[in-house]
Amino acid sequence: MATIDWRIRRLAQTVFTVWAVTTLSFVLVRLMPGNPMGAMVRQLEQQGVDPVRARQLVELRLTIDPNEPIPIAYVDYIVNVLSGNLGQSVYYAEPVTQILAQAMPWTLFVLSWSLFISFFIGIVAGALMAYWEGGKFDVGLTSWAILMGSIPYYVLAFLLLIFLAYRLNWFPTSGRAPTGVPAGFNWPFIKGIVHHATLPVLSMLVASGVASLGMRGNSIRVLGSDYLRVARLRGLSDTTISTQYIARNAVLPMYTSFLISIGEMFGGSVVLEQVFQYRGLGYYLLAATYQRDYPLMMGGFVLITVAVVLALLIADLTYGLVDPRAGGQNSDSY
């Protein structure tokens, strides 16, 4: 019963967080200093749109009627968001939902590869560092991991772009897919999208340094645990001890870090995709900020928040399945 009550509380916290972000986006349009609605009207007027028509377009694209009382307008806005109507982009003149739906798979493609590769490298390297604790391999790799973890991802992105794309021409300088190749499940197209995604993925691999340090610390703690000494006294083989005791228990804390990193990488994609002109979710969110495209900005903000909150929720709800010792009754798994 306690586990069920705890999960209900976590679900309620998640719903509250999403509601708070959605409400904040409404406040951004209605009450933010600088009058975003007026700025959008002036932007359309500069494009030659009649002032009356410009205001009508803004109301349509924001799905908000400025003449309605705030409570009624707020309810209408929430209903529109729940129904998937996030308005229309001012700059791209397309539904926000359509733009985000097209961009999201590309961001997920880069993030998924970055996460799995970085944590695979981190887990393997961290385990080896702990096994040879204090040796040259441990010292050298620890120094390298600290160095990689201290480099901002966007600095590494610029360096990779300059040397590997512009100078050596090994990778494309922009885009997310090859031109002149029919999109679909064919080798030229698949090879092209992997080629375009390589530099963004490499830029995010700085997370492997942090992951390796975390795995190293976990492994060292396991190596000094009492149950490991008991396992050795029982005469278990090194293979059994390594796989069933050391690796299994050292990897468990990395599970939560893995899911939390999703949120960090979503945030990093905002600048990273702009650097490589990779048209994913982060690219459109930053472009919307530059263009003062409030519908697209709010839609991207809400979508990223929902993705991060869901990742944390999954981490909490499933940690008890991954580690039975937690029992699902912890207040948090991170």
Contacts of 110 (CB under 8 A, 6+ apart): 197, 200, 201, 204, 269, 273, 278, 280
pLDDT at residue 64 greater than cutoff 70:
no
- Cα gap 100→297, rounded to integer Å: 10
Closest CA to 149 of 107, 170, 121, 173: 121
Q: Is 178 left (phi over 0), alpha (psi -120 to 50) or beta?
A: beta
**Of the spans 236-245, 277-286, 293-302, which averages the highest pLDDT?**
277-286
Model pTM?
0.78
pLDDT at residue 198 greater than cutoff 50:
yes
Model pLDDT, residue 334: 46
Query: By percentage, how much of the chain surpasses pLDDT 70?
Result: 86
Pair of tokens at residue 288: 């919307």
In the CATH scheme, what is the homologous superfamily, with its name and number, of domain 105-305?
MetI-like (1.10.3720.10)
Average pLDDT value for residue range 174-193? 84
- Cα gap 53→40, rounded to integer Å: 12
List pLDDT tens digits, range 219-239. Answer: 888 777 787 788 878 887 766
Contacts of 5 (CB under 8 A, 6+ apart): none
Q: What residues pair up with 95 in beta bridges, in sequence order?
A: 88
**DSSP-based three-state secondary structure for 200:** helix
| Contact by Cβ (8 Å): 30, 73 | yes
Average pLDDT value for residue range 317-330? 62
Within 132-179, where are the H helices? 136-150, 153-160
**Of the spans 55-69, 109-123, 305-319, which averages the highest pLDDT?**
109-123
Q: Report the chain's terminal Cα–Cα distance, integer Å.
A: 22
Question: How many other C-beta atoms are found inside a 10 Å radius of the C-beta of residue 65?
Answer: 13
Q: What is the mean pLDDT of the chain?
A: 80
Model pLDDT, residue 327: 54
Average pLDDT value for residue range 6-35? 78
List pLDDT tens digits, range 71-86. Answer: 887 888 888 888 888 8
Indicate the pLDDT class of residue 333, thresholds 50, 70 and 90.
Answer: very low
Output 132 or 19, whichever has higher pLDDT. Answer: 19
Contacts of 252 (CB under 8 A, 6+ apart): 218, 322, 323
Output 153 or 163, whichever has higher pLDDT. Answer: 163
pLDDT at residue 251 greater than cutoff 80:
no
List pLDDT tens digits, range 94-115. Answer: 888 999 999 999 998 998 888 8
Q: Domain locations in the chain?
A: 105-305
